[in-house]
Amino acid sequence: MRYQSSEREPRNNQFTEGNSSNYCNTIFEVFTHGLGPEETDEVVSTLRFFSPKKVEVKTLEEIPQSFFNLIRHQYDGLSITKWVNSLRTMRDSVVLGVMNVDAYVEPLNFIFGIALPELNTATVYVIRLRIGVPKKEFLVRVRKEVVHELGHVFGLRHCRSKFCVMCFSNSLADVDKKDFRMCNTHYTELRNRLPCVSEELLLRT
């Protein structure tokens, strides 16, 4: 499951429609935890769809144990996301955390990711994405979740099409069913906010 409040309207977000001051100048600050080199490369490769000006990757050695729920044996996803946001070094960057841990947000059992558009920050939790698939398919799942959460950062809501990457996923089956690309409606909305976004993110049917 996902944190459904990621559907909230962005507040004080630099990527709202009609704001051209940051077109094609997006800087991503990426914070990873527990990822291998190939997995980190997949995250960086996925970011190229957004035509960033710069991508900076930093490895986190540990996550504060104060975010770990001893009863649930999971991390508090909202607290991690706010913490990762606090690590930013550039005011107008987009911050992305990709963590090899299991996370939740009340009242959900678990989350694949969470976006806080008002902070230009998102996190993705990949440990469940590893379940039942070989490495190649795991990386595809990671790509989908990164694009999905960044879509929320850039102001997109969930999609009703089960094939669009912006479709809400309750399970791994839902993740596998959808593409890493967007339906025409969501792609057009994203392009209005980020004109340099790659056409490779357009799902052609």
* Catalytic annotation, residues: 149
Q: Which contiguous run of DSSP H or E holds residue 138?
A: helix 135-153
Residue tagged 């440990």 (tokens) = 127
* β 74-76/68-69 pair status: antiparallel
Strand partners, 111: 103
d(CA 143, CA 147): 6
Q: How far apart are CA 139 and CA 81, in angstroms?
A: 22
Q: Calculate ∠ Cα 185-191-194, nearest 5°.
A: 145
Whole-number Å distance between alpha carbons of 176 and 20: 35
